[in-house]
Amino acid sequence: MQQQRQTGSSSDDPALTERTEAPISCFSTDSPEDNDLIEELLDRYGFQYILERVKKTINPFPAIKPMTEEIASEVYDKFWQRLLLGTVQNPPAYIGRMIHNKCIDHMRRYITEACHIVESYSEGGLDILESAQVIADSEGLRDPAEEFEYK
């Protein structure tokens, strides 16, 4: 197991450090310095920053464009919760990955909600599917969530 430096740690509990591979100080935000760091990061990478990144990310996917603010809000909340646990080494990359994952979640949810409205009728042994959408299985067409992951 990798040995971690514990600078500024208020406790030397090796069991917790060994299990989590993180210094104890990462789990407490009692000090004013930690709160100042969190506020600084939230100012720098605030809701507007996240919203602009979400808009850029979902631009090629019009199906989830109405969910832009919802996705940004969820990412901002999760980022804030993560900062309470400790520092993030590369906030832009961390936020980018969170946006990517949330967009995939919303795309899958959209597909599930939109595609379950299909009724089947049987006339003379032939199944006729009725839906408000046209769904074709063709070469070059992938699941939109998979398509999002490739971009």
For 49-79, write each residue's pLDDT tens digit: 999 999 999 999 888 999 999 999 999 999 9
CA distance 130 to 8: 65
Please indicate, yes or no, whether residues 49 and 66 belong to a single structural domain of this protein: yes
pTM across the whole model: 0.58
**Mean pLDDT (the chain, rounded):** 73
- CB neighbours of 136 closer than 8 A, spacing ≥ 6? none
Number of domains the chain contains: 2
Please indicate, yes or no, whether residues 24 and 64 belong to a single structural domain of this protein: no
| Tens-digit pLDDT profile for residues 36-51 | 889 999 999 999 999 9
Please indicate, yes or no, whether residues 16 and 63 belong to a single structural domain of this protein: no
Could you list the residue range(s) of the whole structural domain that residue 3 is in? 1-29
